Amino acid sequence: MMYDAVMIGSGPAGLSAALYTSRANLKTLVIGKDRGALEKADRIENYFGMAEPISGCELVENTKTQARNLGVELAEDEIFHISWNGHFILEGKNGIYETLAVLLATGTGRKTLKIKGLKELEGRGVSYCAICDAFFYRDKEVAVLGNEAYAVHELSQLLPVVKSVTLLTNGQELKAEVPEGVHIIREPVISVDGAERVEGVTFADGSSLSAEGLFVALGSAGAMELAKKAGAFTEGQNIKVNERMETNVPGLYAAGDCIGGLLQISTAVGEGAQAAMSMIPFVRKQRKEV
C-alpha cells in the first residue's frame, strides 16, 4: 500500500505531524516500536493544557486515540532501513511500507559504546549501514556488532555479498534468531584494531578476530542510522534540518528530539506540526506528478 506520509516514531513529534497531515487529507501512517522517551516519564506537568499532571504513557495513548479518530493509521513495528525508488521504501521487522514522504521522529538515544577505536575508524571499516556499504566488502571477512533483530537484518544484507560474517554480541544476550552457519562470538569487545583501516577486534578474554569491516547495529535502528541510510546529513548526534524541518533529501523530514534543541514535548509537538506543513505541499506536488 502506498502512503502519502509515514512518520517513523509515535512520540509527540510523529503523532503531532500526523494530526496535521491527516487533516489535510494525506494518507498517513505512524510507525512506532514502543512509547519512546515518554514511557519513562511518570509525571508531566509542564505541557500546555495540563489541569492535572498526567503520565507520559497516558499522554501518548490519548494522542494515539486522537490520531486514530482523525483517520491516522498506527502500526507497531521497528524500521531497519529506508531506501528510495521513485518513492520511499521503509523496511521493518513486520513489513515493507511505501510512501511519498517520510518524517524521522525517532527521538534520541543512539546506542553508543565506548570501545577503543570504534569512533576513530568510522568510515574506515566501521559502518552503520549494511545495504549501503556491503559492496565494498565483497569477498571479505566482516563482523556485525549487535544482539537484536536489527543486527540480524544487517547481517542478512551482508551474507550474500561478503566472504564471512561473525556476529559479536558484546557480552549481551542474543535476542533474535540468527541464520544457520553464522559464527557468533559472545565475549565483550574491548577494541577495534587497525592503524589506517579496521583490521580486527580484540575481546575481553584476550582473543581476537580478524575482520576488514565492522557493522554496528546495536539495539534498534535509531535516528542517526536511519538518517545515514537515507542519505540525510547529520551533525553530532542530531539530524540536520532547516527551519521547515526539511533534511537535505527531498521528501525526508525530521522533528523532535532527533534534531536536538530543547528536548521537550512542546518543542517536539511544534516541530512535528512544522514538518507536516512542509510535507503537505510536497506530497500534493508529487501526487500531481505521479
Ligand X SMILES: Cc1cc2nc3c(=O)[nH]c(=O)nc-3n(C[C@H](O)[C@H](O)[C@H](O)COP(=O)(O)OP(=O)(O)OC[C@H]3O[C@@H](n4cnc5c(N)ncnc54)[C@H](O)[C@@H]3O)c2cc1C
Q: What does the binding site for ligand X look like in residue numbers (CB under 6 A)?
A: 8-14, 31-34, 36-38, 40-41, 44, 46-47, 78-79, 105-107, 220-222, 256-257, 263-266, 268
Strand partners, 135: none
Q: Least distance (Å) from ligand X to the CB of residue 207?
A: 32
Q: How crowded is residue 1: how many other Cβ atoms within 10 Å of its Cβ? A: 10
Q: Least distance (Å) from ligand X to the CB of residue 106?
A: 4
**Residue with Cβ nearer ligand X (35 or 186):** 35
**Gap between the Cα atoms of 258 and 223, Å rounded:** 6
Question: Is the distance from CB of 163 to CB of 140 less than 8 angstroms?
Answer: yes
**Residue with Cβ nearer ligand X (154 or 212):** 154
**Residue with Cβ nearer ligand X (37 or 218):** 37
Question: Is the distance from CB of 46 to CB of 38 less than 8 angstroms?
Answer: no
Task: Provide the pairing of β-strand 126-127 with 213-216.
Answer: parallel
DSSP H or E run through 166: strand 164-168
Q: Least distance (Å) from ligand X to the CB of residue 47?
A: 6
**Residue with Cβ nearer ligand X (105 or 217):** 105
Q: DSSP string spanning 127-184? A: ES-HHHHGGGGBTSEEEEE-SSHHHHHHHHHHTTTBSEEEEE-TTSPP-S---TT-EE
Question: In sequence order, what are the residues at sequence separation of 6 or more whose Cβ sits closer than 8 angstroms to the Cβ of residue 111?
Answer: 218, 219, 222
Q: Least distance (Å) from ligand X to the CB of residue 187?
A: 27
Q: Least distance (Å) from ligand X to the CB of residue 239?
A: 11
**Residue with Cβ nearer ligand X (32 or 125):** 32
DSSP H or E run through 18: helix 12-23
**Gap between the Cα atoms of 182 and 219, Å rounded:** 19
Q: Least distance (Å) from ligand X to the CB of residue 208?
A: 32
**Residue with Cβ nearer ligand X (71 or 109):** 109
